[in-house]
Amino acid sequence: MVEVVTFGCRINSYESEILKEKFAGIERLIIVNTCAVTREAERQCRQTVRKLRRENPDAKIVVTGCAAQINPKSFARMPEVDLVLGNREKAELEKYIRGEIVEKTIVGDIFSYDKYDDFVITGFEGRQRAFVQIQQGCDHRCTYCIVPYVRGREKSRPFEEIVDEVTGLVRQGVREITLLGQNVNSYGRDLFGKPRFADLLRAVGDTGVERIFFTSSHPKDLLPETIDAMAETPAVMPQLHLAVQSGSTRILKEMNRRYTREDYLGLVDRIRNRMPDIALSTDIIVGFPGETEEDFEQTLSLAETVRYAQAYTFIYSKRAGTPAAEIDDPTPHEVILERFNRLVKVIETTAHEYNQGELHTVVPALIEGTSKKNDAVLLGKSPKNQTVHAPIPEGYSIDQLVGKIVDVDVDVAKTWYLSGSVVGEPR
């Protein structure tokens, strides 16, 4: 049975599922799907490859993904690696297995591809949650980001193909889908007729799917019509990930984000005017080159103003080949770390306060399984993507509840989860 080890984002996870499905019958094959978003992520990939070789001396180890795309030679030099494939060459793996490929490194120019790569999962039978990729690549050039160099230009999947896939998934019993792309808000700009992401949301909502999430969203491309479609499509869940990266207009300009602090806060206001109870999450970078205490205070105050339900916070990681990597920064690491910790405290406070708003309410949770800490406790997700725990109700087994929606009467609201007891009948 093939083993696929995945690092990084949801798109990598999605593509790993495709690889698992496509090569399920192959024995002694290990695929490492790498991430390049930070130097630490790339280091962990290398460490994992070495460990896998020690544990599997007779296996074929294939390295692919973003780190392989940007640094193929460094992986090819590793004696533990048998083959290095770029992001668009994942499909060539079958040729390697058949012995048609003898080269150790097959990594093409990612910018030479101008069409959507039809690389989809077909094996969602028996599942209640599914991912559907709608878009690949990114045309933005954020100065800190390596993604455009490893994923290429924006390419949208055909509109009808997406809707047909979701329709088929609903027939199979899928209740929740997540639409995936490097920048879903830009969907359709490269297609004939230029369908908008708002059009796609409405069409997917018409398939009968019960829950729709999507990621990732760039604030610059989130149009008023998309906000309207979110508010007016019942299946679209009241949750949005909207990466801000910094609360300082000066730093946002240095990042080439193409919006200001005021633009972002205005966008948040428009979203909340249409969806008052929406759960907002974000990404924030601390320690971008040249960030001053004043810049950082702007980020802190923005986080306090928006009051995020969740945030992914990062210390800036220099990536060779990006414009930001050329900027010298004398700020001591200790200062950056102290700022980072201050931000984390603010995020923890706002996340806890947001979850407190669910206390003594009934939350519908789609059950995924049981808690890692206690197999007598259900694990589910709310419409706002909150983790929800509840004891398995008397008379039910976990097998009877996975994929069901249960109503949980919340009596505990912590920073990162809700818990309570199941009321009523599962559905």
CA distance 205 to 131: 15
Mean pLDDT of the chain: 93
Q: Is 366 helix (H, G, I), strand (E, B) or coil?
A: strand
In total, the chain counts a number of residues equal to 427
Return the residue matching tokens 């696929």. 4
Class of domain 362-423: mainly beta
Grade residue 161 by pLDDT with cuts at 50, 70 and 90. Answer: very high
Q: Is 322 helix (H, G, I), strand (E, B) or coil?
A: coil
The percent of residues in the chain predicted with pLDDT above 90, rounded, is 78
User: What CA–CA distances, in Å, run from 331 to 36, 81, 284, 325, 339?
Assistant: 24, 38, 18, 14, 11
pLDDT computed for residue 117 by the predictor: 62
Number of Cβ within 10 Å of residue 27's Cβ equals 10
Contact between residue 278 and residue 239 where contact means Cβ atoms under 8 Å apart: yes
CA distance 3 to 22: 12
Dihedral angle sign, alpha carbons of residues 74, 77, 78, 82 = positive
Extract the tokens encoding 293.
């205490």
Nearest to 350 by CA among 282, 427, 271: 282
Contact between residue 93 and residue 15 where contact means Cβ atoms under 8 Å apart: no
Condensed to tens digits (0 to 9), the pLDDT of residues 257-272 reads 999 999 999 999 999 9
- Residue 198 pLDDT exceeds 90: yes
CA distance 374 to 299: 38
DSSP 8-state secondary structure symbol assigned to residue 247: S
| Section 162-188 average pLDDT | 95
- Residue 207 pLDDT exceeds 60: yes
Contact between residue 52 and residue 59 where contact means Cβ atoms under 8 Å apart: yes
Grade residue 12 by pLDDT with cuts at 50, 70 and 90. Answer: confident
Contact partners, residue 336, CB within 8 Å, separation at least 6: 286, 287, 315, 316
- Residue 395 pLDDT exceeds 70: yes
47-56, 98-107, 120-129, 195-204: range with lowest mean pLDDT? 120-129
Output the pTM of the full model. 0.90
* Fold held by 129-356: pyruvate-formate lyase- activating enzyme (3.80.30)
CATH classification code of 3-108: 3.40.50
**Phi and psi torsions of 166, nearest 5°:** -60, -40
- Residue 39 pLDDT exceeds 60: yes
pLDDT computed for residue 335 by the predictor: 98
pLDDT computed for residue 126 by the predictor: 61
Nearest to 3 by CA among 49, 46, 37: 49
- Residue 123 pLDDT exceeds 70: no
Contact between residue 191 and residue 203 where contact means Cβ atoms under 8 Å apart: no
Alpha helices, H only, 309-374: 333-356
- Residue 206 pLDDT exceeds 80: yes
CA distance 117 to 137: 11
Extract the tokens encoding 219.
């604030």
∠ Cα 345 348 353 (to 5°): 130
Condensed to tens digits (0 to 9), the pLDDT of residues 242-301 reads 999 999 999 999 999 999 999 999 999 999 999 999 999 999 999 999 999 999 999 999
- Longest Cα pair distance anywhere in the chain, in angstroms? 63
Condensed to tens digits (0 to 9), the pLDDT of residues 336-394 reads 999 999 999 999 999 999 999 999 999 999 999 999 999 999 999 999 999 999 999 99
- The structural domains of the chain, with segments of one domain joined by +, span 3-108, 129-356, 362-423
